[in-house]
């Protein structure tokens, strides 16, 4: 199984069962930043940086389920270590690093 694969919903991490900036509704969406082509409405749960949350909430509504991480902070989903790192694009934008069994991807 690959750590990341491209699907009709977006970039998918099957081990973590999460998508990066998905373009169709999914259960878990890891969001790089608040622009409309990256943060779309309809996902069950969103994960983004602390700084991106206000933009995403403003755009998508207060009712969305959203969690945040600080830059460099990590969360583990089904053994995949996920962290957000500054991208320098807009406030709160991030590169997402995924680590699993020695394999590392940055998106």
For every residue of 19-45, DSSP letters joined together read: EES-SS--SEEE-S-SSTTTS-TT-SE
Helices (H) and strands (E) in the chain, counts: 1, 10
Top CATH class, 5-106: alpha beta
Provide the pLDDT for residue 91: 87
The first and second tokens of residue 101, run together, are 């069994």
Question: Which pTM was predicted?
Answer: 0.95
Provide the pLDDT for residue 97: 99
Provide the pLDDT for residue 69: 98
Provide the pLDDT for residue 1: 77
pLDDT in tens, 92-106: 899 999 999 999 999
C-alpha distances (whole Å) from 64 to each of 34, 41, 43, 44, 54 are 14, 8, 8, 8, 12
If we measure between CA atoms, which residue out of 1, 9, 2, 55 comes closest to residue 28?
A: 9
Residues of the chain with pLDDT under 50: none
Average pLDDT, the chain: 96
pLDDT in tens, 79-93: 999 999 999 888 889
């Amino acid at each position: 199984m690959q750590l990341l694969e491209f699907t009709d919903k977006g970039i998918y991490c099957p081990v973590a069962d999460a998508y990066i900036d998905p373009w169709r509704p999914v259960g878990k969406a890891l969001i790089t930043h608040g622009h409309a082509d990256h943060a779309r409405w309809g996902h069950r749960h969103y994960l983004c940086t602390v700084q991106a949350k206000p933009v995403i909430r403003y755009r998508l509504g207060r009712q969305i389920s959203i969690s945040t991480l600080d830059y460099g902070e990590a969360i583990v989903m089904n053994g995949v270590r996920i962290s957000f790192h500054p991208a320098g694009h807009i406030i709160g934008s991030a590169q997402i690093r995924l680590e699993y069994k020695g394999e590392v991807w940055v998106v």
